[in-house]
Amino acid sequence: MLRKLTMGLALLTSLVMADATITFTPYKTAAQSIGKGKPVMLEVGAESCVNCKKMNAILAPIMARHPNYKIFDIILKAPAVNILSSRPQVSIEEKLKIHAIPTQIFYDASGKEVYRHTGILTADQLKTVFNKLKF
């Protein structure tokens, strides 16, 4: 009986994790966590990007299992043009030096960028980086 209950609970957990979704975070909100004593990961992408969706599928169950991890999914949007402003706007892509997506940027607890990757990271690769940075 206990074995069936354990197996059922494991199946239910895996189904919940498989259905986990990503919540997108504005960059300004995510930036407030950088350098605040915990490592931070920024996943930068776009909603229309196929590889970004694949990366989100890898990150969603990790984020569901580890809600204490500071992982933020930043969605790039087309820049808004303000013709009334004489001051040029700095885009998130420029600020974060994004040349292709998806890009993952990792900061240590002090806010120093310590690792950057463009493309898809596997769950095992993410686990290695998280362990190294003491997430």
- DSSP codes, 85-117: --SPPPPHHHHHT--SSSEEEEE-TTS-EEEEE
CATH number of 21-133: 3.40.30.10
Euclidean distance between CA atoms 70 and 84, whole angstroms: 37
Torsion angles phi and psi, residue 78, rounded to 5: -60, 135
Top pLDDT among 128 and 7 is at 128
Q: What is the pLDDT of residues 51-108, one digit of tens each?
A: 999 999 999 999 999 999 999 999 987 655 556 665 666 788 889 999 999 999 999 9
Whole-number pLDDT of residue 90 = 73
Q: Taking residues 17-37, what's their average pLDDT?
A: 82
pLDDT of residue 12: 36
Measured in whole angstroms, the distance separating CA 73 from the mean position of its chain's CA atoms is: 4
Q: Which residues contact 113 (CB under 8 A, 6 or more apart)?
A: 105, 106, 107
pLDDT of 33 > 80? The answer is yes
Express each pLDDT in 5-25 by its tens digit.
333 333 333 334 445 667 889
- pLDDT of the residue at 23: 81
pLDDT for position 6: 38
Domain boundaries defined on the chain: 21-133
The predicted pLDDT at position 127 comes to: 94
Residue 16 near residue 45, CB atoms below 8 Å:
no
SS3 42: strand
Q: Which pLDDT belongs to residue 77?
A: 78
More confident residue, 117 or 92: 117
